[in-house]
Structure 1
């Protein structure tokens, strides 16, 4: 575990460094365009999964726990083929739509967003295989190589060709890690297994769309409402929140599937909830450290100049650090799914999305700028966190065993 934490922490550091270098080498408006385009591509990848990737969250760890590796590989192949066909079909409509909306720039955006969405989907399948196995070495190597690749390729592309070059770098980095991740599993799984149709999970699919709209589509919304300059400031401030998100994701990759496997074995929810204590302490500690670093950083010329470039102050950083704490939702969702309450996950995401839309509308009408949009995000994520937490509090879930879930 110590090696896992260190290496995943290093991967997170390179992920943050990628964004920081991009923010330094590109003008604020270009950084805003990159953030909006990358966010839209992330939302697109969530849309094109049609519930197939979400179905792996609970099913793949159960397949591994039950020793059904043929099903694990067969479902992975079928999902990969399916999302490829759906993405290519969707691109036939996306390219002309991009031209109608934004002319040549819209076509360029679509030509870059479609392959990024597809390679992200395939990468998620490989990641799901890693997480289902639960080997710490597999997980940290996958994340570390992905972060290193993106750290090199994305800023290089952004420096040479602006936001379009940065997106090309993202595509190349994802393609590299997908190949590496698949190769690393060659001795653990029977890759000769035939494709097997995999059921979709539409509850988690709906919630994933809403969560991606909140966590990635928000930048595109801010860019549309307030322009690329404000979008750049907003995206830069949320880099502090993304650090917390990365920390939670690191811990969730081990803790989440472990929760599902423990519940599969028939454990009560009470010991399962103890698994949440370390991620909760880690994200709170990380957020406080980020806030302290920001307070100290403004006393140095580089830190002061960077905040001034993006027209934000310590207030905006503080809001972003609070948002980072709310990313504990990532781990809480595993606990809720483990007790077969996927509808609560959907409810939480839908409520958060509604709050974000209302908040962004209020920020736009009031001309509240970057601060207003950040407050809208903070309110949305707080609602999501509250609903997920509330679903785990009732005594009937704390006192009884959940039992082994029925086989899919």
Structure 2
């Protein structure tokens, strides 16, 4: 998991080095919008699998998992195809600076990201930690090689094409892992005879919460691009790689630990110490975030790689704030804790608070043409408020 996080960090750093600042700004903006679309266009279908698949596994209904996943793949793919056609038509009418091919590649990356999230749900449901870890490492490795190669050969369009190819390869590899795991492992121990009826609104609430969190974690790049220009978005993208690594690391841990929360709660295991696990993850995250901040500050002081810090305007304050945002990513693990206790309302309320704060601060900063530090600080404030709201909801749920 640490290797996967490290590869993501080095990939973004390498792309920032080899691309012009404005081109890197375009890359991070389009990647952010594409990943946001992966959340929006699922309409709650993928979010609902986070809790449903582990429960189906515990109940011994592995066939139902496969049938549901195939249905989701068809629905989500059709939605993305429709969006690709619509965006291409709008691009022709309004004369955007992007080509039809750019629109198609961006849409395909969004689809690939959505299907990777579904694959992660399939793998986290099984009782084999290595299955999800192998998929995560392979996904990061393929993206590392393909995106850097594409970026070196053809700029941001090449990097984005490499990301799409990496999605295809990692999904094929993930499918192979899933088929083996679902064939070899027993599904359920017989302790749970039937499923507890699910609230049909749970998936919708989680979908809304995830979409709002994605706006604060992915749409920010596009907003900075529109407000301050592609060059500023490039500098923001370099800073964002710090909390992206935090997102990746926590996401990998949450997929494993969070599933354990859900299974333990569903099976009635009240002795499982979830809070201790959360504190351990937070301590590790603080160490990783501190290490990244210290490394960037040292590199800036040494001015190495040469000209990198001349191309991107990064103040010590902005680097420290980015590290703070990385530490706030612990909210993902707490969300899983609340989901295991059917507290989707608490997750949604926290996401609403964070999104309102971020959008409000971004609008104020854009109107007053405030520097990049304001926007990074706004993300930190929004994530800190979201985390605090989740902690309050978690205490009420204990």
Provide the TM-score with structure 2 as the length reference.
0.92
2:125 paired with 1:125: no
Shift of 1:270: 7.4
Go from structure 1 to structure 2 and tell me whether the alpha carbon gap of 1:168 and 1:354 turns closer, same or farther (over 3 Å shift).
Answer: same
Residue by residue over 1:111-170, the C-alpha shift from the partner in whole angstroms, topping out at 9 and shown as x without a partner, is 112111112222222111111114121112111111111111101111111111111111
Shift of 1:189: 2.5
Shift of 1:230: 0.8
Counterpart residue number, 2:40 = 47
CA distance in 2, matches of 1:76, 1:46: 16
Go from structure 1 to structure 2 and tell me whether the alpha carbon gap of 1:244 and 1:295 turns closer, same or farther (over 3 Å shift).
Answer: same
Map 1:127-276 → 2, pairs under 5 A: 127-189=120-182, 201-268=203-270, 271-276=273-278
CA distance in 2, matches of 1:387, 1:269: 25
Counterpart residue number, 1:194 = none
Go from structure 1 to structure 2 and tell me whether the alpha carbon gap of 1:270 and 1:133 turns closer, same or farther (over 3 Å shift).
Answer: closer
8 Å contact kept, 1:131–1:253: yes
Go from structure 1 to structure 2 and tell me whether the alpha carbon gap of 1:270 and 1:388 turns closer, same or farther (over 3 Å shift).
Answer: farther
Map 1:270-289 → 2, pairs under 5 A: 271-289=273-291
2:359 paired with 1:357: yes
8 Å contact kept, 1:26–1:158: yes
Shift of 1:350: 1.4
8 Å contact kept, 1:355–1:380: yes
Counterpart residue number, 1:110 = 103
Deviates more, 1:359-368 or 1:36-45: 359-368
2:76 paired with 1:74: no
Shift of 1:304: 7.1
Residue by residue over 1:49-101, the C-alpha shift from the partner in whole angstroms, topping out at 9 and shown as x without a partner, is 01000000100111111111011111111111111122222323222123334
Counterpart residue number, 1:390 = 392
Shift of 1:206: 0.7
Counterpart residue number, 1:91 = 84
CA distance in 2, matches of 1:230, 1:186: 45
SS at match of 1:340: coil
52, 59, 79: which is aligned to 1:59?
52
CA distance in 2, matches of 1:101, 1:203: 35
Go from structure 1 to structure 2 and tell me whether the alpha carbon gap of 1:186 and 1:44 turns closer, same or farther (over 3 Å shift).
Answer: same
CA distance in 1, matches of 2:29, 2:297: 28
322, 325, 337: which is aligned to 1:323?
325
- Structure 1 gaps, min length 5: 1-7, 192-197, 399-408
Deviates more, 1:379-388 or 1:268-277: 268-277
CA distance in 2, matches of 1:103, 1:97: 8
SS at match of 1:302: coil
Over 4 Å off, 4+ runs: none
8 Å contact kept, 1:279–1:328: yes
8 Å contact kept, 1:157–1:165: yes
Provide the TM-score with structure 1 as the length reference.
0.89
SS at match of 2:273: helix
Shift of 1:250: 2.3
8 Å contact kept, 1:307–1:313: no
RMSD: 1.9
Counterpart residue number, 1:404 = none
Deviates more, 1:63-72 or 1:115-124: 115-124
Map 1:332-343 → 2, pairs under 5 A: 332-343=334-345
CA distance in 2, matches of 1:313, 1:26: 20
CA distance in 2, matches of 1:212, 1:98: 24
8 Å contact kept, 1:98–1:109: no
CA distance in 2, matches of 1:303, 1:76: 45
Go from structure 1 to structure 2 and tell me whether the alpha carbon gap of 1:156 and 1:80 turns closer, same or farther (over 3 Å shift).
Answer: same
